[in-house]
Structure 1
Amino acid sequence: MSFPSSPRVPTGPHRRSLLASAAGAALLVGCTGGSGSDAPHTVSAEERARARAARDSAGLVARYDAVIAAHPGLAARLRPLREEVLRHVEAFGGVAADSASGSASASGSASASASVSAQASPSGTARAAGPGDASGVPVTEKDALAGLAAAERELADRRAGTLLEVPGESARLLASVAAAGAAHMFLLTEGHG
């Protein structure tokens, strides 16, 4: 007996697969730990990894701020994701320079946004700003969301790639934040026009 095929073709990862991959990554790195002989080196590498992760998350917050400032109509959709990235900064030991309104500051966010934009571009070059747009944020909302999704994807991939370079707790935190980034990418690209 054959079953009728599903009328809906999935377009991206499902929530269950995102959660399963996050759990698998956490289990994979959960048993890794440094030996006593290399503990001073491991601590310093761990501190560097956490500091870099905090800076990367802070840059992503600046990117969200720049998009929200350029496209206020996206603010309600982007604020929850931005707030989660802000918590990632704090989780990695960084200091969250939060603005009450969630909008970009004049110079700091624009330069951080340009830096993140350059990192998120597939070719490694910064995207050109639109007419009259000095922040580097794409002119259309759709392109701005695609840029944020690309930044989230690039950062999640980079973090997943460094999981085995850091010990236990930091690796678990990186795995969790990488999974959150993958979920953010999915939320930025799926189901919202």
Structure 2
Amino acid sequence: MRTSAVSFPSLLRRRSLIVSVASAAVLVGCSTGSDSAGSGGSTSVSARARARAARDSRGLMGQYDAVLAAHPALAERLRPLRAEVAAHAVAFEEGAASPTATASPSATASASPSPAVPADERSALAALAAAERSLADQRAKALLDAPGELARLLAAVAAAGAGHAYLLTKGDQ
């Protein structure tokens, strides 16, 4: 049996880079333009959906922050994924009167308590992967009722979340 000359960390970085580039390209294409073109009263529906999606992304950032605080050794692996989640929040907040978009951990502070983080790294990664999968599924369902541009953004972010879940679990196999 022949082993690959590519190490796991470089493979993870390469996969993460591919997911990051693809997500960034889609976000740039999807976050411009207006959701209200020809949608009549759907502007407020779109605004509420965007606010909910931004809040969900901020919540997921809080989960990443909690895992990073509990398991600093995972920083190299998690920071690129967390940065993408921050970019998703920014994309959903676009057009808001006063966006709270920032990639710093302090920006995710809220009234809700920090999520419980499993004591071992493998379980913490599995919990993050489950959160990513759950949110990706939720967004995939929400895009069915969303107007054009928002639907495309939700689809792109759902795909990125599925990619994150894959990256979070692949290293354990």
Same fold (TM over 0.5): yes
For structure 1, list consecutive stretches of 5 or more residues without a partner in the other structure: 1-14, 115-135
Provide the residue aligned with 1:190 in structure 2: 170
Give the alignment partner of residue 149 of structure 2, picking from 169, 174, 177.
169
> Residue 110 and residue 74 in structure 1: after superposition, are their counterparts in 2 closer, same or farther (change >3 A)?
farther
- Give the length in aligned residue pairs: 139
For structure 2, list consecutive stretches of 5 or more residues without a partner in the other structure: 1-14, 94-98
Which of the pair is proportionally richer in helix?
Answer: 2
Give the alignment partner of residue 96 of structure 1, picking from 94, 101, 109.
101
SS at match of 1:98: coil
Percent of pairs identical after alignment? 58
Superposed, which structure 2 residues align to 1:37-186 within 5 Å? 39-40=40-41, 42-93=42-93, 94-99=99-104, 102=105, 108=109, 111=112, 113-114=114-115, 136-186=116-166
Inter-partner Cα distance in structure 2 for 1:109 and 1:45: 24
> Residue 35 and residue 69 in structure 1: after superposition, are their counterparts in 2 closer, same or farther (change >3 A)?
closer
- Quick one: which amino acid aligns to residue 98 of structure 1? A
Query: Could you tell me the TM-score, scaled by structure 1's length?
Result: 0.63
> Residue 43 and residue 76 in structure 1: after superposition, are their counterparts in 2 closer, same or farther (change >3 A)?
same
Q: 1:73, CA displacement in angstroms?
A: 0.3
Q: CA RMSD in A?
A: 3.0
- Quick one: which amino acid aligns to residue 167 of structure 1? P
Kept after mapping to 2: 8 A contact 1:62/1:112: no
Kept after mapping to 1: 8 A contact 2:54/2:89: yes
Query: Could you tell me the TM-score, scaled by structure 2's length?
Result: 0.70
